[in-house]
Structure 1
Amino acid sequence: MFEEVLSRLRPRIIERYLPHNWWGAYDNRTHTIWLRPNLAPIQRRSTLAHETAHAALGHTGHHPRQERQAEELAASWLIPYPDFVRAGRIYPTATGLAHELDVLPRDIHAYMRLLERAQN
């Protein structure tokens, strides 16, 4: 699903070192995603999904609420629910789930927030 969204939005993607050791950033004025060079493949995909979520949500600036929204949308793109359920039967920790699903633990935590809200 994430690849379809990325293909539809078509942001410009540039690798460059960013301030504060950030892994990525999105500039809505130029529709550009900046990614830190030399990220591991899982880090790169997660960060690209996160920054693409900022683009999809029309975010400007940097605010904790926007960060949570981008984390959760990116996680929903990266983690298919049936795979999450299957892996959850085997792995009791976010780290184990992340390893099995080829995402970062932060993606698992964001996905779990989405599931908790959906249950309420």
Structure 2
Amino acid sequence: MEEMRLKEIRKNERKSHIEIYSNAELYKEGSWLIRPIKTVVDLIPLFDKYEEINVLDLGCGVGRNCICIARHYYDRLCKIDCVDILDLAIEKLYANADEYGVTSNICGIVKSVDDYQIKEKIMI
């Protein structure tokens, strides 16, 4: 029963996000995508001392948080894995990354957050 409910929620979520991502522009006035979420903005300065930054953005959508991070760290090695369940979201993510000049920092991955496996980074 719970699994059926979760599938229905995911189905409705997909439909809703497809509509939103089809009509809203990143960082544009009047859009809910006008700015990154406050928590992300507040956390960014905590990593200023690092030369290499690796970020995982689960449920990245069209990039409202990860593009902000990539732009802030334009002057250092910054790699962001961006995971979203929708092909459309990742397509728009890459278009937005290109528009803001951070395509090389972004790696879009189409996958459910439930199915994405976080890999441990091995330091050499």
Larger Rg: 2
Question: Which of the two has greater strand per residue?
Answer: 2
Q: TM-score, normalised by structure 1?
A: 0.29
Q: TM-score, normalised by structure 2?
A: 0.28
